[in-house]
Amino acid sequence: MTAPDKRRPLPALVVIAALTLLTALVWFRVLHRSDAAAHPAAANTPCPTPSATAPPRALPKPSAVTLVVLNSTSRSGLAAGAKKTLVADGFKVSQVANDATTYGGHGEITGVAEIRFGPSERAAAALLGYYVPGAKAVQTDSSAATVILSLGAKYTAILAPAKASAAISSATAHSTIAAPSPTPTATATASCSSS
């Protein structure tokens, strides 16, 4: 009878160690991948330029802005009074109405006002924001060439043109304009690289 063969455990241990190391590496990559790898569409998205996300610097003249003025409160005559002031300041006002019965009935606004505008009217909305400080700017998907000013409970008056001009000059000097701008998503920002 011959002696039993002794098996060498070394080759089996090397294979097990290699597989364990490979598995650990794969899991490390999966758990620590970047947002660009997690969202391939974002990796192909071009980085936003400052001008694409920054508020417009070239504001139109009031005479180039057409407004719809709405009253979103229970106070009577609020929109009509604002229309008189805005027209005197050079704006075009195409309509005055109650917000509850017009444009989807947004109901009462508790703040100063809402300035609703489509993408093509960002500059006009930014200009109007200087005349109605404290108004909330709301970008919509509207393609209309009008800006909707919906007056709220805290509205008191339209700012005088001289004060609005001073605010515009001050904001331009500090490189800020009072209109909101869409902020890029975190994944798009993470995938951007400077060239």
Tens digits of per-residue pLDDT, 4-30?
Answer: 666 777 777 888 888 898 888 888 887
DSSP character string of 41-106: HHHTSPPPPHHHHSPPSSPPPGGG-EEEEEE-SS-TTHHHHHHHHHHHTT-EEEEEEETTTSTT--
Q: What's the pLDDT band for 171 if we cut at 50, 70, 90?
A: confident
pLDDT tens profile 132-157 = 999 999 998 888 899 999 999 999 99
- What is the pLDDT, as a whole number, of residue 42? 47
* Segment 41-64 mean pLDDT: 58
pTM greater than the 0.85 cutoff: no
* Lowest-pLDDT choice from 14-23, 40-49, 60-69: 40-49
Kindly state the average pLDDT of the residues 81-108: 83
Average pLDDT over residues 81-92: 94
Q: Give the mean pLDDT of the chain.
A: 76
Report residue 56 as tokens. Answer: 């417009």
Q: Identify which has the larger pLDDT, 169 or 102.
A: 169
The DSSP line for 9-52 is -HHHHHHHHHHHHHHHHHHHHHHT--HHHH-HHHHTSPPPPHHH
User: Considering Cα of 178, then 179, then 184, then 189, what sign does the dihedral take?
Assistant: negative
From CA 140, how far away is CA 150, in angstroms rounded? Answer: 14
**Tell me, what's the pLDDT at 86?**
94
Q: How far apart are CA 21 and CA 13, in angstroms?
A: 12
| DSSP character at residue 195 | -
Per-residue pLDDT, averaged over 68-91, amounts to 91
- Max CA-CA distance within the chain? 117
d(CA 138, CA 28): 43
Range 105-126 burial, b when 16+ CB lie within 10 A, else e: ebeebeebbbbbbbeebbbbbb
More confident residue, 160 or 57: 160
Strand order in the sheet with 147-151: 92-98, 66-71, 147-151, 113-117, 136-139
Between 187 and 57, residue with greater pLDDT:
57
Phi, psi at residue 138, to the nearest 5°? Answer: -130, 110
The most confident of 30-39, 41-50, 87-96, 173-182, by mean pLDDT: 87-96
